[in-house]
Structure 1
Amino acid sequence: MTEPAIDTQTPEALLRVVNPTLRLALKTPLGGFLGDFMLVAFTGRKSGKEYAIPVSAHRLDGELYAVAEAQWKYNFRGGAEAQVSHRGKTRTMRGELITDPPTVAGICERVAASYGPRKAQRQMGMAFRDNRLPTTTEWEEAVTRLKIAAIKLTSKA
């Protein structure tokens, strides 16, 4: 069996150390220097619990996206309000969960291409076989297998 073209590479131990620091820094003016990241704070749909998740910030066509395979993404199904701290500013935004595999694959493919293979792996928390950009077909397979979704964040008017 061949190794998948795309897999996750989330070092849990590292995240336990880095995430608390990012949570604090992204809410301050220091967050202006951390443009590759954002803090998405929201209330759980079912639990009512408050969450603050540091994630990579991806820009496509002037729009802000998060790409995630983690379960917290489902809190944005049907749309949800979030406080987004990015580039040293916090603003109220609306997050919309995108789960359609071809659409998510297209977003992932464009995000990865905008970074190049080395930075894309780091920013997206993924490993690409042979350290090359995956094809559209490989993205579609990975989106389905890993349950990757995108969250589009738009300013509230």
Structure 2
Amino acid sequence: MTDPAIDAQSPEALLRVVNPILRRALKTPLGGFLGDFMLIAFTGRKSGKQYSIPVSAHQLDGELYVVAEAQWKYNFRDGADAQVSHRGKTRTMRGELITDRSTVAGICERVATSYGPKKAQRQMGMKFRDGRLPTIAEWEEAVDGVKLAAIKLTPTA
């Protein structure tokens, strides 16, 4: 059996150190210099718990996306508002969870291609087998295997 083409496991120890720093920085004017990242603050759908999660910011066709395998993504099923701190500004945005296999694979493939293989792995928090860009079929396998999904963020009125 071969290794999967895409491994989406986050380095937990590194995140425990980096995330608190990003949480603070992204809410300040310093966040303007951290355009590759954004902070999403939202309320849990079922728990009512407040979350504040630093994530990579991905832009496609002028739209802002998050690609995630983490369970918190399900809070955006059926849409949810979030406070998004990106490029030094915080605004209310509507997040819509996208789980359709081919749509998510297409978003991931386009995001990865826009970065190139080395930066894509870093920005997307993933490891690509052989250091090359995955194919659409491999992205589709990752949607199923690691439960990748996308969240599209749009400004509220």
In structure 1, the gaps of 5 or more residues are none
Which residue does 1:8 correspond to in 2?
8
CA deviation digits over 1:81-126, x for unaligned, max 9? 0000000000000000000011000000000000000000000010
Query: Residue 108 of structure 2 aligns to a residue in which SS?
Result: helix
Which residue does 2:122 correspond to in 1?
122
Deviation of 1:77 (Å): 0.2
Deviation of 1:9 (Å): 3.8
1:79-90 to 2 correspondence within 5 Å? 79-90=79-90
Which residue does 2:137 correspond to in 1?
137
C-alpha distance in structure 1 between counterparts of 2:94 and 2:107, whole Å: 18
Query: Residue 48 of structure 2 aligns to a residue in which SS?
Result: coil
Deviation of 1:8 (Å): 1.5
Matched, 1:146 2:146: yes
Cα RMSD of the aligned pairs, angstroms, is 0.5
Overall identity of the aligned pairs, in %: 83
1:1-157 to 2 correspondence within 5 Å? 1-157=1-157
AA aligned to 1:77 is: R
Query: Residue 85 of structure 1 aligns to a residue in which SS?
Result: strand
Runs of 4+ in 1 over 3 A off after TM superposition: none
AA aligned to 1:45 is: R
C-alpha distance in structure 2 between counterparts of 1:44 and 1:103, whole Å: 25
AA aligned to 1:60 is: L
Query: Residue 45 of structure 2 aligns to a residue in which SS?
Result: coil
Query: Residue 121 of structure 2 aligns to a residue in which SS?
Result: helix
How many residues were matched structurally? 157
User: When the two structures are superposed, what TM-score results if normalisation uses the length of structure 1?
Assistant: 0.99
